[in-house]
């Protein structure tokens, strides 16, 4: 039995500006993605000879965060789809694989854990393909990533990046120093589609909720490396609909903000991200939040972190 092990980072949106709804139902986004060192791990277990047909035999996820109610280990899983996409695009026969995922990022928490699984699976599958034929180019891997989901290209890339369009048109951003975070999962799901739809509705009734599509202030703050400036520049257009859908998040934001430098909703939520001054400050903030909300999941992480990478082939 051989295995290929890959990993990819979770993310937080330092800025998320949502444009008006388009005719096709999507929204133009301006997002500043920031990868953190809470990483998903994907293993491809390989045994046997190359065969024609589907590449994936089975999938199993081990949860280091709370397990969701539904079974996610099937052909609809992004990691499963990523492996099949790489093998099909390469056009080579490979042995059938068993996928094993170590899940360290909250499920459906707005931190792109599923996208990280997909990105790690893409690079792992490409390493498998390379043993039997020509591996896919980085550009083709990016195209496959974008076809799987809007956040998957950034999970592949890592670092800190400006995303436009659906969020998958990426440009690397300069940043200085490390950022220290506490992440809190209140375990109250928020449907991403409902969050976007509610934002459209709220804007009809509140002209003040204009799209924030200019990330220049944040870009300058990141270049300075000043945590105070970065904290002041954090922004999320989806925070208001998240708070409307789940009012308890207001209490979480208030308590987390008191413990750290600044607290925001990550992506469409429900995860709350707390920016702190240092690693020591994150430990204090995590303990403070855990005392007040003992049923919630809490972990600390740093960024920026690198993108998807093959860790080991054995």
**DSSP H or E stretch at residue 63:** strand 56-63
Distance CA 32, CA 215 (A): 8
The verdict on whether 11 is a catalytic residue reads yes
The verdict on whether 151 is a catalytic residue reads yes
Residue listed under structure tokens 């799901």:
189
Query: What tokens were used for 192?
Result: 């991403």
- The Cα-based distances of 232 to 48, 65, 178, 274 in angstroms read 55, 30, 16, 12
Q: What value does the CA radius of gyration of the chain take, rounded to a whole number of Å?
A: 20
Distance CA 122, CA 138 (A): 11
Beta strand 309-313 with 2-21: parallel, antiparallel or unpaired?
Answer: antiparallel
Distance CA 236, CA 227 (A): 18
Catalytic residue among 151, 168, 237, 305: 151
* Residue 165 DSSP SS3: coil
Three-state secondary structure readout of 264-308: EECCCCCCEEEEECCHHHHHHHHHHHHHHCCCCEEEEEEECCECC
Catalytic positions: 11, 151
């Amino acid at each position: 039995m051989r295995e290929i092990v890959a990993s990819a980072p979770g993310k937080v949106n330092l800025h998320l500006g949502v444009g008006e709804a388009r005719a096709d139902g999507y929204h133009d986004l301006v997002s500043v993605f920031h990868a953190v060192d809470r990483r998903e791990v994907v293993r491809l277990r390989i045994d046997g000879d190359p065969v024609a047909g589907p590449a994936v035999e089975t999938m199993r996820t081990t949860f280091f965060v709370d397990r969701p109610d539904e079974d996610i280990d099937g052909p609809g899983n992004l990691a499963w789809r990523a492996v099949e996409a790489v093998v099909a695009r390469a056009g080579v026969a490979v042995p059938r694989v068993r996928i094993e995922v170590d899940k360290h990022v909250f499920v459906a928490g707005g931190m792109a854990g599923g996208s990280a699984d997909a990105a790690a699976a893409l690079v792992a599958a490409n390493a498998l393909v390379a043993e039997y034929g020509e591996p896919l180019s980085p550009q083709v891997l990016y195209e496959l990533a974008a076809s799987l989901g809007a956040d998957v290209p950034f999970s592949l890339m890592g670092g800190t990046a400006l995303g436009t369009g659906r969020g998958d048109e990426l440009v690397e951003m300069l940043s200085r120093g490390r950022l220290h975070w506490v992440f809190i999962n209140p375990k109250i799901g928020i449907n991403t589609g409902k969050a976007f739809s509610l934002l459209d509705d709220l804007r009809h009734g509140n002209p003040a909720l204009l799209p924030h599509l200019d990330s220049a202030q944040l870009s300058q703050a990141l270049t300075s490396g000043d945590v105070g400036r970065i904290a002041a520049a954090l922004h999320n257009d989806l925070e208001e609909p998240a708070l409307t859908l789940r009012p308890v998040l207001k209490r979480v934001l208030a308590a987390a903000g008191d413990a750290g430098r600044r607290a925001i909703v990550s992506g469409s939520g429900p995860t709350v991200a707390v920016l702190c001054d240092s690693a020591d400050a994150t430990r204090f903030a995590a303990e403070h939040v855990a005392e007040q909300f003992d049923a919630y999941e809490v972990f600390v992480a740093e960024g920026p972190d690198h993108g998807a990478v093959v860790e080991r082939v054995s």
